[in-house]
Amino acid sequence: MQSWLSLGMSALLCATATNATWTNSFADGKLPGYFQSKTVIIPKDKNMATGGQDAAESSETMLVIADGVGGYDDLGIDSGNFARSLAISAMTVAKERPDMNAGDVLDLACKSAKSIQEGGSTAVVMRLHDGEQGVMLESAILGDSGLIIYRMDENGALVK
């Protein structure tokens, strides 16, 4: 079974999480579920040269999208740099602290990005981790970003 994740912002990350129902038993110590993802960011015309205001990073167990706050442009601050710092920091924190929950990863990533770059961003962090009932999907959201999980039902129809 596959689930599709749609994260609504101008940076769109579409991912499939394979094996939507899992158990705790796996011999090699690796999670039996993982993300397969492709990131496409299409900046607006005025932000084309700088790569836009959005950023996305992903691994087999984590997805991060940061949507830089465009209002900082008026202050001469490139919020895209902040969004990229936030996304990269979240991946780094998660790699260094694999047992940390998504909310704490996002909190530390924000602090790290703030120490590197001025700006602001909304963000979504999603992690797969081993839980008491199998592999769990965990998320943290900053600001007005959001996510929707779509699944295929037994008839093959896509449902929320």
Other residues' Cβ atoms within 10 Å of the Cβ of residue 7: 23
At 10-57, the pLDDT tens digits run 333 334 343 333 333 333 444 456 666 666 666 666 666 666 788 889
At 120-142, the pLDDT tens digits run 999 999 988 777 777 778 889 99
Whose CA is closest to 127, among 137, 142, 115, 118? 137
Point out which residues pair with 62 in neighbouring strands: 127
Instruction: Quote the Cα angle for 97-35-115, to 5°.
Output: 40
Domain count, the chain: 1
Residue 65 is part of which domain span?
2-159
Q: Determine the 3-state secondary structure of 139 from DSSP.
A: strand
How much is the mean pLDDT over the chain?
A: 75
pTM: 0.74
